[in-house]
Each structure stands twice: as structure tokens, then as C-alpha cells.
Amino acid sequence: MQGSTAGLGPVTVAYERQGTGEPLILLHGVGHHRQAWDAIVPLLAGQYETITIDLPGFGDSPDLEPAVPRDLQTAAAWLGAVLSELGAERPHVVGHSLGGLIALHLGQAGLARSVTALAPAGFWTDTERRRTYAMLTAARHSVRLLPDTAMVRLAHTATARTALAGTLYGRPDSCPPETLIADLRALRDAIAFGATLRAGRAPNLFTGDIPEVPVTIAWGARDRILPPRQAARARAMIPGARLVHLPDCGHIPMNDAPDLVARVILEAIPSAVADE
């Protein structure tokens, strides 16, 4: 799907639709892909039309053209154009990490009926950001040095899964090998990884409130990439937000506890409808 907005060239994204009902957009984090939601979509598609999207430069989506800025306001603009092309006007939006931060901006721009943000990026101190970047960069560097055949072999042992993904998951030993392999390949092949981290060095990635859109912020209690103490900062910025703690979940709670995450999303959406 290609979307364009005034002053920007076209932006092309890969996407997948499932289910019927009101549109529900699912946005992944940095170094990830739309398959991040594979365990969640079947739990939602019976009530909503789920649309999972590969952000530019991740998964199957080509990177942004050099002339397209990588700031969050621009991301909300071109994503709004993509949603319009998809016929998903003002959908419910769920985002994880980078996708959670983008989802909050969509809500602030009036482009979302409700927002559910799982460990949204951007509520860090500068020291925390540097630590997060160091962990993500180290993980990407490690997987890029690892031959694919070795990665596949290691992913099928619980001990190696813990070593490969202990920083990402709260329960790495229980992560299905195929899921881990797909996630590591997505991290390895993410062509927009470096440019996205550079853009994330900008100050004040989110400011202001989202007073007219129901917002839920959920955070894994065992998140090592974005520590759960950052949830309080997000709640202070958006005082009307509903804050949910995800016990035993790491940075990617969709893999650690898909049933719990799906329940959080479904509970957030009815409250959005009731508040309209």
C-alpha cells in the first residue's frame, strides 16, 4: 500500500488484513516486523479487522526516500495517508515500543479512536536512552555475526534461546523457536535500524497530552530494554491514561503473554467506544 501527503513523496508499506469489524491497526517496534503480532491477531480478528503494518525499512517494507524526514510528526502524517488509502479512517491503534510512540502521536493528531501503547519508546532519560541503544545495537551486531544455520540450530535449545533473547523476552526459554528465528532475522535485516536510532536522539519525542482519545499504556514488569519505571513518566505526561502492568513480561509481551496482551487491548477498545 502506498500513501502520500502534501509536501512528501509516496511512502510504501507492506501490510496484512485479517478478520472483520472496526479496523484495528497494529504497529511493531524498532528492528521488528508485522509478524510480531502473529500470536495476538487470532485473538482479536474475531471482533475486529486487524491490519498489521511493516514500518518503512523493516520487514517487507522499503525504506523511506531520503527526502522524507524521520520525525514523528511526519510519521503520523504519512501513516495517516496510508490509513486513508486502506479505508481505515480513525481506527483503533495498538503499538509496541517505537510503534507505541507513533501510536501516541496518531492519537494526539486525532487520527486514532483509541490508543494502546505497549512499552512506548521516548519516555527515557538520556542515560537510559544510551543504555537502550547499546543493548539493541549489541543484539543486532551479535545476530549479524551469527550464520543463519547456527542461529536456527541454537534457537531450538532452551539454554541458547535464553542467551539469544534474554534481553528481549521475559520468558525466552518458552519462546517458540520459529518465533525467535523470525524475530532475529527481522532484527538482522532491518535496513532502517541505524537511521531510526539516530532520529530517536531528538529531545522531547512526546510532549503534551491526549485529552480526547482513550489511552492505555501497558508495560512488562521484566522489560530490560525500556525499564518499567518509564511507565510513570508516560502516565504523568498523559494523566488520563489507563496504566496496566504486565507481570513476568519482558520487552516483547506479545510473545511472553499473548492472551494477557490481547485482553488488555480488548478491554481498552470498549472503553474507547463508550467514551465517544
Mean pLDDT of 74-79: 92
In this prediction the pTM is 0.95
Instruction: Name the grid cell of 155.
Output: 534457537
Strand-pair partners of 23: 49
Mean pLDDT, the chain, integer = 93
Strand residue runs (E) in 122-273:
215-220, 242-246
Who's near 87: CB < 8 A, 6+ residues apart?
23
The pLDDT value recorded for residue 260 is 97
Does position 275 have pLDDT exceeding 60, yes or no? no
Output 50 or 270, whichever has higher pLDDT: 50
pLDDT tens-digit readout, 136-167: 999 999 999 999 999 999 999 888 888 888 88
Does position 79 have pLDDT exceeding 80, yes or no? yes
The pLDDT value recorded for residue 272 is 65
pLDDT tens-digit readout, 25-64: 999 999 999 999 999 999 998 899 999 999 999 999 999 9
The pLDDT value recorded for residue 62 is 96
Query: What share of the chain in percent tops pLDDT 90?
Result: 82
Quickly state the pLDDT bin for 273 (edges 50, 70, 90): low
Quickly state the pLDDT bin for 172 (edges 50, 70, 90): confident
The 3-state DSSP composition of the chain as helix, strand, coil percent (nearest 5) reads 45, 15, 40
Query: What share of the chain in percent tops pLDDT 70?
Result: 97
The pLDDT value recorded for residue 166 is 83
Mean pLDDT of 201-218: 94
Quickly state the pLDDT bin for 97 (edges 50, 70, 90): very high
Domain 2-125+195-275 = CATH 3.40.710.10: no
Query: What is the H or E stretch that residue 160 is in?
Result: helix 158-165
Does position 107 have pLDDT exceeding 80, yes or no? yes
Report the Cα–Cα distance between both ends of the chain, in Å, rounded.
Answer: 30
Domain ranges of the chain: 2-125+195-275, 127-193
